[in-house]
Amino acid sequence: MATSVRKLAELLGGESRGNVDSFIADGQSIEKATPSDIVFVGDEAYLAKLKEANAGAVLLNAELAALADQDVCPAHIIVDDPQGAFIQLLEHFRPQRAPAHSGISADAHVRPSARFGDDTVVYPGAYIGDNVVTGKNCTVHHGVSIGAGCQLGNDVALYPGVALYPEVIIGDRVIIHASAVVGADGFGYRFVDGRHEKIPHFGSVQIGNDVEIGASATIDRGMIGDTLIGDGTKIDNLVIVAHNCEIGRHNAIAAQVGFAGSSTSGDYVVCGGQAGIADHVNIGARCMLAASTSAHKDTIAGETYAGIPAERIKDAMKSIMSQKKIPELRRTVRDLKEQVARLTSRLEALSETDDGQTRSAA
């Protein structure tokens, strides 16, 4: 629904400038904005892009507004947190659909011993096992399977196809996206009499409060104790956290990262896409692993690492720069080999001449 810039500023508690009576119908990125869209600018780097944009209005803070040309956009809204305000406006322009179901669907398979908190919704086709307990305001979508003895806190959302193996414990305000698997056995075997013999896994998984787990991610159960995911940690799609891992609080783990068995991380760790952590390795608090980094030994808290194997970022950049010089080095070596060959040939010719002169004198 189109809304004037003046009304949007009132909604946000911000200050409007410029063409405040123009109407805005949606929020959009700077690159794709039209005159009916509003955009946001969070730093100086985007002020230059704003000059080339076609947006009808822009959200920015007072500091950036002082730097921006007033005619760079038809209307400005000054707020303390432009990105937060932009999200608020997206919620205004794009209201979410109301839930399709309420209560516990008769078409869900629910064991009689399961217990649900107030305002919990279970969609058709879900399976709820024996002695499952949920908190208040949980949402269990189509095709979710919750194994016996699982415990869910308040405001948990399980999207279609999520599988919780038995005895998984989940905190409050946890979101688990489609087809994620929590509590499967770890990849543990003994080699006995020429074959792989499965090691049973008697632990489970405990997930803290305010955790989000992406689509098709896998969190394996522990063999003896539990696999742990700390409060506030965000796990992207296609991540694997293997058995016995202990992930700290407020980690940010990008897609296709792998934590091997019994590896651990401190608080506020960041892992770029496809980073790999070897078994029994500890990633120190506030460490950052660049994309595709392979950590094969413990890392120092607060450091940034990159490369295969992982090195501190300064050392890794030196290695990368050295690798870029390899073609030039090969050419240099080839030229030197040719020069050595020519010099060797000339020395051999001089040696033969000297030998000939010696024989003639004799």
Domain locations in the chain as residue ranges = 3-93, 165-316, 325-362
Q: Helix-strand-coil percent breakdown of the chain, rounded to 5? A: 25, 25, 50
Burial of 94 (0-12, 13-18, 19+ CB in 10 A): exposed
182 pairs with which residues across the strands?
Answer: 164, 219
The tokens describing 173, both together, are 């305000």
Residues ≥6 apart with Cβ < 8 Å to 193: none
Strand ranges inside 185-271, DSSP E: 189-192, 195-198, 205-207, 212-213, 218-220, 227-229, 234-235, 240-241, 246-247, 252-253, 258-259, 264-265, 270-271
Give the model's pLDDT for residue 359: 64
Is 243 among the catalytic positions?
yes
Rounded distance, CA 105 to CA 108, Å?
5
**pLDDT (mean) for 289-301:** 97
Q: Tokens 């078409």 map to which residue?
A: 107
Mean pLDDT of the chain: 93
Rounded distance, CA 253 to CA 238, Å?
10
Give the model's pLDDT for residue 69: 76
Q: Which CATH number fits domain 165-316: 2.160.10.10, 2.60.40.10, 3.30.413.10, 3.30.930.10?
A: 2.160.10.10
Give the model's pLDDT for residue 315: 85
Give the model's pLDDT for residue 358: 66
Rounded distance, CA 336 to CA 325, Å?
16
pLDDT at 361 over 70: no
**pLDDT (mean) for 86-92:** 95
Strand ranges inside 266-339, DSSP E: 270-271, 276-277, 282-283, 288-289, 294-295, 304-306, 311-312
pLDDT (tens digit, 9 = 90+) per residue, 245-260? 999 999 999 999 999 9
> HEC string of 89-138?
HHHHHCCCCCCCCCCECCCCEECCCCECCCCCEECCCCEECCCCECCCCC
Number of helical (H) and strand (E) elements in the chain, helices listed first? 6, 37
Give the model's pLDDT for residue 295: 97
**pLDDT (mean) for 334-353:** 88
Q: How confident is the model at residue 97 (pLDDT cuts 50, 70, 90)?
A: confident
The CA-based angle 158-160-161, given to 5 degrees, is 100
Q: Which one of the listed residues 177, 201, 243, 250 is annotated catalytic? A: 243
Rounded distance, CA 312 to CA 320, Å?
12
Give the model's pLDDT for residue 284: 98
pLDDT at 96 over 70: yes
**pLDDT (mean) for 71-91:** 93
Whether the upstream peptide bond of residue 309 has omega within 30° of 0, thus cis, is yes
Give the model's pLDDT for residue 29: 94
pLDDT (tens digit, 9 = 90+) per residue, 103-157? 999 999 999 999 999 999 999 999 999 999 999 999 999 999 999 999 999 999 9
The tokens describing 17, both together, are 């400038």
Give the model's pLDDT for residue 356: 67
pLDDT (tens digit, 9 = 90+) per residue, 273-287? 999 999 999 999 999
Reduced to 3 states (helix: H, G, I; strand: E, B; else coil), residue 183 is: strand
Task: Say which CATH topology domain 3-93 has.
Answer: 3.40.1390
Rounded distance, CA 248 to CA 283, Å?
10
pLDDT (tens digit, 9 = 90+) per residue, 160-217? 999 999 999 999 999 999 999 999 999 999 999 999 999 999 999 999 999 999 999 9
